[in-house]
Structure formats: C-alpha cells, structure tokens
Amino acid sequence: MSGWDPTRYRVPLGFVLAAIYLLRARPTPASLALGLPLAFCGLALRAASAGHIEKNARLTTSGPYRWTRNPLYLGSLLLAAGFLWVARDWLIAVLVAALLWGIYLPVIRREEGFLQSRFGAEFNAYCGAVPRFWPRRRSAAGLPGPAAVFSWRRYWRHREYNALLGYLLVTLALLVKMWWRIHGYMP
C-alpha cells in the first residue's frame, strides 16, 4: 500500500472546501464588486491557457505560457483570491492557502518532472526563459516549440467550461446569500 498522496484528493477536497466556503461566506455588494472581477480574470486566464495547451503532445510555449509555465494554476489562484475577497472570512483564506500549498505545489513539481522527462532540453530551455509561476513583464522571446493560436476545440476538449459553470454557480449562490442577508433571512 502506498503512502498518503494528497494530490489524489484535490477534487474531493475542493468540493469540501467549496461547501465550507458557501456556508461561511459573508458577501456584501462591495466585496462582490471587487472580488468577482478578480475571479473572472482568473477564469479568463484559465480559458486562454486551456485553449493553447496540447497535453503530452508538445511543449506549450504560446499564449499565456509565454509569461508563466503554469498559467492554469495562476488562473486558479486569481479565481480563489477573488472569491476569498467576496467571502471576507479568515478561516476560508487559511484553508484555501493550505489547499493551494499542500496540493498544487506538489502537482506542479510532478508535472514539471514529467515534462522534463518527456521534452528534455526543450523543457530546460523553456524553464530558463519563463518563470514557474509569477509572470514577467514581457513574454519570453525565441521559445522552443511551435507557436500555437487559441483553439476553442482545445478549450472544450480540456473541459474548461466546468470552471465557467463553477464560477457562475458560486456567483449565483453568493448573490442569493447576500440577498438573504440584506433582507434578514439569515444572520
């Protein structure tokens, strides 16, 4: 029997965290006005990334991958930050930080190990030109691999529409919860 691998539980843990989030969130008109646009920026970054990536087929270095090697995870971080702003709850912030640090950092490392073994020198050159997470001001020039354009087919194949559906459902739940609070149906 293998040891505990928290990365295997990222989806179920995400659902548990979402339930806690919806129970504890205390949205206000101001927190929604500031947090939802930030979360939407994360959603847009994830969509742009999903429309460029060709998993396992080639090293993706175009689109958002010109600025960061992990734009999907950066998009997830922006989504989380926006929804944390809306929630206004320190416990949720601690739980999200623990999930991101304890789950996604090992996933990133594992994926980079796979990419290094699959693409070797090409991936090493890419790592030298593009930061792991926080983007640079300018995109890296002369990256290895062919430049691809955004493809809706890739977006749909990677099922990134699930992130959009999640964003819309959570936003709707937050709006309902705020309305209930404003009208005295909940504390």
CATH of the domain at 38: 1.20.120
Whether this model's pTM surpasses 0.85: yes
Predicted local confidence at residue 94, as pLDDT: 95
Predicted local confidence at residue 99, as pLDDT: 85
36 found inside a domain: yes
Which residue range(s) make up the domain with 19? Answer: 8-135+143-182
Predicted local confidence at residue 147, as pLDDT: 63
Number of domains in the chain: 1
How large is the average pLDDT for residues 148-155?
A: 84
Q: Are 178 and 32 in contact (CB under 8 A)?
A: yes
164 found inside a domain: yes
Q: Which of 81, 65, 75 is nearest to 136 (CA)?
A: 65
* Share above pLDDT 90 across residues of the chain, in percent, rounded to a whole number: 53
Q: Which of 106, 131, 45 is nearest to 80 (CA)?
A: 45
Of the listed ranges 85-94, 100-109, 143-152, 163-172, the least confidently predicted one is 143-152
121 found inside a domain: yes
Q: Which of 165, 187, 164, 177 is nearest to 29 (CA)?
A: 177
Greater model confidence, 137 or 17: 17
Predicted local confidence at residue 180, as pLDDT: 87
